[in-house]
Structure formats: structure tokens, C-alpha cells
Amino acid sequence: MTININKKDVIWSYLSLIIFNGINIILLPFILAYLSKAEIGLWYTFTAVAGLVVIMDFGFQSTLSRNVTFVWEGAREITVTGFKESKSKSPNYNLFVNLFKVTKIIYLFIGLIILFILFTLGTWYVYSVSKNDLSMYTIFISWGLYATAVFLNMKYAYWNAILKGIGAIKLHQQILIITKMIQLILSIIGIILGYGLIAVSLAYLISIIVNRILAYIKFFSYQNNRENIKPLIKNQINKKEVTAILKKILPNTYRQGLISISNYINLQSTTLLSSAYLGLNVTASLGLVLQIINLITTVANTFFNTYLSQFSSYRFKKQYKELKLKFKQALLVNYGITILSFIAVFFLGDIILIFLNSNVSLLDSKYLLIIMVYMFLYNNQSVFGTFIATDNKLPHYKAFFISSLLVIGTQLLLINIFEPTLWSLLVPIMVIQMVYNNWKWPVEVFKSFKSLKKMTENVGCDLGR
């Protein structure tokens, strides 16, 4: 049993994305029409604060997914960077189960820390930015439900990495569709009944619970997992095995974690600083723009993300020609969707919002254009960085992290020295990335293609012998 991402996986990924984000589009008019501007601003603040603590995953999910792929392809051991080749064509079930058990312990630990942070610092921040606009009842009940959902989402986050790591893309996407539909139905019912932000938070919590239950059921129904893995889970893992696995995965987890922190700062710091310095009304428009653009980049990245485990598999099996062709195909899909969608939003976005009778409009065109240019370039560098990481190597982590610190530092400096405006938040985040990261990692990938070409030729010569 080897990983083989096919057209059905791609189709289900797009179908899941269409339904997932189509549901968001269906839900958005209800949120815009039934929730006050302050509630909308607070909802975007919820997601930003939750994203801040979720980076405590510290990149473990990405690291786990890559290692699951290698083990599923037959790797005999886990390595700190890269991977050790194996002639085996079947999954290493014993190593997989040990990795699975260590992962559960780590995520429980991370989840408890996150729960503590959310109910202390998170509660203080949410209350401080919304106490003048909403009742304490609405603030604390909706935040309590949302924070609990974030905790459960993190505690069982390993299921996402495992399903994607073993190539069960279709199953993973089917689970997302079911849970998102549950969230939509419950949210709309609650909003119409007048429970506002509380209903949206409760629906999210219920959807997370359903998601994790389905992930457990589907994993053990995949291939021969029930027969091959269930019996092994009953065996105890000793401390030496736990320590050995941790020593192998923690270095890259640390590096991936710094990348996650930098991504959060570059994508979410603007929302948090906006709510703190510019108010919830400006944050509502900014949050809406970022939600739309993030939706577009998510759609654009779907083809690429569907093949992540396949990219690692290609590297493991030295199928370099297939690796390059599939990556270039993913780039073409990404660029086409992003550019066409950005043009549509720029010229038609406000017209659509007026038609939807929205209480929130997009930002002025000058801000909108800057955000689009920045997000295109940043998403592009992230795609190239993620592609590099499919080799279980992360040379870009320092540059990503240092640039993010420069971004947040410059934003705080400008917003405190001058009168707070969106320019103080947007200019640093675009200029600093353009100096290095925007061009460096695409160049590195194309350089690596030259060495891959030589490897392909060498493999061909070896086969000819």
C-alpha cells in the first residue's frame, strides 16, 4: 500500500473547498444582516486571537504529516532532516503506532496550555476591545464556547495530519464537508432565532466535536488499518521509544514552529493591531477583506496542498520528473485562480456587498490593492517554502521568522509615532517581505530543479545498467 494521490482526491478536495467556502458564502449574508457591526468585528477578533494560540502547535502538524508519509512508504526510522531510503513497499506499522502515541501525548499537552491561555489572556483581550460595544453576557458566553472549540480542535489535531499523511485525502475532505454543513445549519438556525454571536460560536464547537469523531471512525476503516493497527495500539510504548522519536521530530518541529509564528504575525497582526488602535468598525472592513482574500488563496492553493504527501512520496521514491511536473502544474493553477479572483473582487466586491445588504463595506481601493499585491507575493513565497519542506528540510525558517519580527516591530513603531492609520500596518508588512523572502525561495526551488534534473539522469543511467 503506497501513497497515490489521483484525480478523485483532487476532485474531492475542490468539492470540499467549494462546499466548505460555499457554506461560508451562504453564512456570510446572515452574519452581515443579523449581527451588529460590533459583533462582526468581535468575531474576526475571535479568529485572530485563536490563531495566536494555535501557533503553539509550533508546526508539529506539518512535521507529523511529512513523517507519517515517509513511514507509510516503508521508512525504517524517523530522521531529523531528510529521510532514509527503504526498499520496503509496505507501511511500517510498528513505527507508525509509536509515532501516533507520542503525537497524542504532545497534542494533549499543547491543548491544555492553549486552554489556559485562552481563558486568561485571551478573555482579558477580548473583553478589553469589546466591553464598550457589547454586553458582558454576549462577550463571555460566545468567547467561552469558541475557546472550548479551539481547545478541542487542537487536542485532536493529529487526525488531520495522519489522514493527509497516509494519502487519505478523499476521506479527509468528506469529513470536512459533513462537519461544515452541520456548522452552517446550526449557525443559521441560531442566528435567525436571535442568539447572534453565541449561536455562531456554539455551532463551531459542535462541528469540531463531530469532525473528530468522524476522523477516528474513518481512519480505522481505511485500507487494512483496523486489522494492522488496532492490535498494535494496545501495546505499551516505553520511555526510550518516546524519547527517541521526540529527539528526531522536535528539531524540525521547532523550525516549522518559527515559520508558523511568522505566518501568524504576517497574516494576523494587522487585524489585532487594528482592533486595538483603530476600533472594531475599521477592523470589520479589514477583517472582511482579509477573509475574502484568504478564501481566494485557499482555493488557489488547493491543488498544491492536495499533492503535499505525494510530493514527499515522489522524493522518497526518487521520482524527480513527476515531482517537478506536478509542482509546476500546481503553480499554474495557483496563479490563474489568484489573479482572476483578485481582479473580480477589486472591481465587483462592493457591488456584491450592496446587493447582499451588508452592514460592512470593503476598504478603499488603494488599501485593497496594496493588500492584494502583498497577499499574492506572500502566498507565493509560502507555497515555495512548503514545497521545500516536503523534503523534510526547512532552510527558510530563520528568514521567515526574522522578517516577521521586523514587521511587527515596524508596525508598532509607526502606529505609536504617527497617527494610527491602516498605512502604518500595511506598508511594513509588504516592503519587508519584498526585500528578501518574496524572491529568495522561488529562486532556491528553481535552482534545486537543476540538481534534480541531474539526479533524474543519474537514476536513468543506473537503471540502464
**Does 377 score more than 50 pLDDT?**
yes
> Is residue 1 one of the residues assigned to a domain?
no
Mean pLDDT confidence for 223-241: 81
Residue 298's pLDDT is what? 87
DSSP state of 307: T
At 370, list the grid cell.
496594496
> Is residue 277 one of the residues assigned to a domain?
yes
C-beta separation of 54 from 39 below 8 A: no
Assign residue 65 a region: left if phi > 0, alpha if psi is -120 to 50, beta otherwise? alpha
Residue 57's pLDDT is what? 67
Q: CA-to-CA distance for 84 and 73, rounded, in angstroms? A: 11
Continuous H helices in 156-195: 158-165, 169-192
Mean pLDDT confidence for 369-374: 92
Q: Which amino acid is at 72?
A: W
Q: Quote the distance between the C-alpha of residue 36 and its chain's center.
A: 28
Question: For 129-145, what is each residue's pLDDT tens digit?
Answer: 788 877 888 888 988 99
* 329 confidence band (pLDDT: 50, 70, 90): very high
**Does 420 score more than 50 pLDDT?**
yes
Half-sphere exposure of 291 (CA within 13 A, CB side): 21
Q: What is the DSSP string of 98-159?
A: HHHHHHHHHHHHHHHHHHHHIIIIIHHHHHHHHTTTS-HHHHHHHHHHHHHHHHHHHHTTHH
Question: SS3 for 347?
Answer: helix
Mean pLDDT confidence for 419-442: 90
457: which residues sit within 8 A by CB, 6+ positions away?
A: none
Q: CA-to-CA distance for 165 and 223, rounded, in angstroms? A: 14
Q: Quote the distance between the C-alpha of residue 173 and its chain's center.
A: 14
Pairwise pLDDT comparison (302 vs 456), residue with the higher score: 302
Closest to 228 (Cα-Cα) out of 237, 240, 219 = 219
> Is residue 347 one of the residues assigned to a domain?
yes
> Is residue 2 one of the residues assigned to a domain?
no
Residue 403's pLDDT is what? 93
**Does 151 score more than 60 pLDDT?**
yes
**Does 45 score more than 70 pLDDT?**
yes
Q: Which amino acid is at 20?
A: F
**Does 452 score more than 80 pLDDT?**
no
CA terminus-to-terminus distance, the chain: 28
* 88 confidence band (pLDDT: 50, 70, 90): low
Half-sphere exposure of 226 (CA within 13 A, CB side): 6
179-188, 427-436, 448-457, range with the lowest pLDDT: 448-457
18-32, 270-284, 320-334, range with the lowest pLDDT: 18-32
Domain count along the chain? 1
User: 103 burial class (0-12, 13-18, 19+ CB within 10 angstroms)?
Assistant: buried
Continuous H helices in 193-238: 196-221, 225-233
**Does 155 score more than 50 pLDDT?**
yes
Closest to 253 (Cα-Cα) out of 53, 56, 59, 57 = 59
Range of the domain at 159: 7-464
User: 1 burial class (0-12, 13-18, 19+ CB within 10 angstroms)?
Assistant: middle
**Does 193 score more than 80 pLDDT?**
yes
Q: CA-to-CA distance for 63 and 457, rounded, in angstroms? A: 30
> Is residue 14 one of the residues assigned to a domain?
yes
**Does 462 score more than 60 pLDDT?**
no
Residue 282's pLDDT is what? 79
What's the alpha-carbon Rg for the chain, to the nearest Å?
23
Mean pLDDT confidence for 188-199: 87
Residue 463's pLDDT is what? 40
* 53 confidence band (pLDDT: 50, 70, 90): low
Mean pLDDT confidence for 116-124: 87
Mean pLDDT confidence for 371-394: 92
**Does 32 score more than 80 pLDDT?**
no
**Does 385 score more than 90 pLDDT?**
yes
Residue 47's pLDDT is what? 73
CB contact burial 312-323 (16+ within 10 A = b; e otherwise) = bbbbbbbbbeeb
Residue 400's pLDDT is what? 93
**Does 460 score more than 60 pLDDT?**
no
> Is residue 448 one of the residues assigned to a domain?
yes
* 457 confidence band (pLDDT: 50, 70, 90): low
Residue 464's pLDDT is what? 44
At 96, list the grid cell.
507508525
At 148, list the grid cell.
472550548
Average pLDDT value for the chain? 84
Q: CA-to-CA distance for 392 and 192, rounded, in angstroms? A: 48
Closest to 398 (Cα-Cα) out of 249, 259, 266, 261 = 259
Pairwise pLDDT comparison (17 vs 164), residue with the higher score: 164
Q: CA-to-CA distance for 74 and 2, rounded, in angstroms? A: 9
Closest to 67 (Cα-Cα) out of 98, 104, 101, 99 = 99
> Angle, nearest 10°, between helix axes 169-192 and 158-165?
140
325-334, 382-391, 420-429, range with the lowest pLDDT: 420-429
C-beta separation of 80 from 297 below 8 A: no
> Is residue 212 one of the residues assigned to a domain?
yes
Residue 24's pLDDT is what? 65
> Is residue 166 one of the residues assigned to a domain?
yes
